[in-house]
Amino acid sequence: MQTDIADKADRWQDTLALLFSGRSLRMLLLGFSSGLPILLVFSTLSVWLIKAGVQRDVVTFFSWAGIAYGFKFIWSPLIDRIPLPLLAERMGHRRAWLLFSQLCIMAAILFTATTDPATSLVWTAVGAVAIGFTSATQDIIIDAYRIESAPPRMQAFLSATYVAGYRIAMLTAGAGSLWLAAWLGAETYDPETWKTVYRAMAGFMLVGIVATLISPEPEVGGNVASDKMVQLKLFLAFLAGVAGLIAVFNLFPDTPKDLDPFTRLGFNTARLFVSLAAAGVVLFCLAKLRFVPGNEARKSYVEPFTDFVERYGKAAVVILCLIGIYRIADIVMGAVANVFYLEMGFDIAQIATYSKFYGLVATIAGGFLGGILASRIGVMRGLFIGALLAAASNLLFAYLATQDANVNLLIAVITADNLSAGFAVASFVAYLSALTNVTFTATQYALFSSIMLLVPKALAGYAGSIVSATGYPGFFVFTALLGVPVLVLVFWAGKLAPIDDE
């Protein structure tokens, strides 16, 4: 008995040592860099738009500015295969791309700070899309860096510290930006207030730049193209594919405005997938014409996907379905969260304090709990618990929507929701990391995370319309029910392809 107790104590000491290792602390900083831009596209931007007089349905459409997060797999092979000229020779392949993406994020945020949605909504949208694209690119690299820089047994801990840094950044970009806006007098709309806020947020990207400069280069998976002409041709082929995607997308007629939200969702989803297929046809034709050597095209765009299918067989379909909807309850609900708080009667300072500060503490606690439990009870069990908590917490918002504005109730609901979200995300990141083959790290993980966001973010764009049709209580119950199929898929995937012992 005493030996068992001593062994358990040693294991817990090892757990704490891993959590506070240099790798974990660097991942905390990189998590901050990853989490900072996202709210500048979503919730913080939504408050700016509401204050500028933009209608609610249009505000939720801005969630599509982050659609790049759902298509990262398209350009992730370039990041795996093409080293950046000059920078890669001095910093290494991953760190060079990481620094480049962080500088681009700063530039995109500063560009957005030059716009005013009240008078130039299109340019604000351009800035938001630029932030989304550059931030998605950074995420591709950070995910690859995390997986390549530590063995599988450390991934749950790195996930926990990553989530902690991510959420601290979300506090900075969420509550911090709203506190700053309130201090500058944001209750009365003045575009200069929000421009100052976004300039300040651009400055915080220096945290990620410093983390990149002090981090060592990991062992890359070995999929880098060595021939510079091949690298150039891969890049040109990618641009041709993008051109084909845009051309076909623009050939479609605009979505009829009199359609209901779900029919419009189906129409636009079909439009996106047909456009993606067109890009694939362009790349296929270039390979057939030998503009890009067939073996290079195969290594870039085919082998990362066939490797996954070969490793998991029939279970691959179930796993991909699980990845595609695991976070759907969270993401769809989050698209209207700040708008909901404002319409409930809470002001910007209250949203900053209660929604963001208390949410941060709860999410970090949930992230560490999810990371630790995933390493102790198994990733699949942690995944199931996280999915259950994430769906159930949305029912608390349904109850909140039926009550008068009550600060204590708001704090309780937000705390429970963020605790469950932190737990779910940490468990999910550990799961995705375990599925990834380090030979194709950036491409495979980008595919997983793209699938994870594509359907939820597409549906989130219609969140405002669904609220208008059902009311807030019905909307939150609907988002909770979206989590039920997730539980079934977690159980099914666990039976077909358990990963806890890999």
Q: Taking a C-beta distance cutoff of 8 angstroms, is the pair 244, 282 a contact?
A: yes
Nearest CA among 136, 153, 76 for reference residue 445: 76
Judged on CB neighbours under 10 Å (0-12, 13-18, 19+), 87 is: middle
**What pLDDT score was predicted for residue 7?**
41
Over the chain (502 residues), the average pLDDT of each successive run of 10 is 41 60 85 91 83 74 67 81 85 92 96 91 88 92 87 75 86 85 82 92 95 86 65 75 77 69 69 79 77 69 83 89 88 82 80 73 82 77 89 90 85 87 84 82 81 76 80 90 91 81 44
- CA quadruple 54, 59, 64, 69: dihedral positive or negative? positive
In a domain, residue 355? The reply is yes
Nearest CA among 478, 447, 492 for reference residue 328: 478
In a domain, residue 21? The reply is yes
Count structural domains, the chain: 1
Q: Taking a C-beta distance cutoff of 8 angstroms, is the pair 61, 463 a contact?
A: no
In a domain, residue 68? The reply is yes
Residue ranges of the alpha helices (H) in 255-402?
261-288, 294-297, 303-312, 315-325, 328-334, 337-344, 348-350, 358-377, 379-400
Q: Taking a C-beta distance cutoff of 8 angstroms, is the pair 164, 78 a contact?
A: no
**What pLDDT score was predicted for residue 30?**
95
**The model's pTM:** 0.76
**What pLDDT score was predicted for residue 227?**
64
**What pLDDT score was predicted for residue 502?**
45
Longest dimension (CA), the chain: 73
In a domain, residue 502? The reply is no
In a domain, residue 501? The reply is no
Number of H helices, E strands in the chain: 26, 0
CA distance 333 to 398: 11
Reported as half-sphere exposure (CB side, CA atoms, 13 A), residue 353 has a value of 10
In a domain, residue 115? The reply is yes
Instruction: Look up the CATH number of the domain holding residue 427.
Output: 1.20.1250.20
**What pLDDT score was predicted for residue 8?**
42
Pull the structure tokens for residue 357: 């500060």
**What pLDDT score was predicted for residue 424?**
87
In a domain, residue 263? The reply is yes
**What pLDDT score was predicted for residue 62?**
67
How would DSSP label each residue in 130-197?
HHHHHHHHHHHHHHHHHHHTS-GGGHHHHHHHHHHHHHHHHHIIIIIHHHHHHHTTTTS--HHHHHHH
Domain that holds residue 116: 2-496
In a domain, residue 26? The reply is yes
**What pLDDT score was predicted for residue 12?**
55
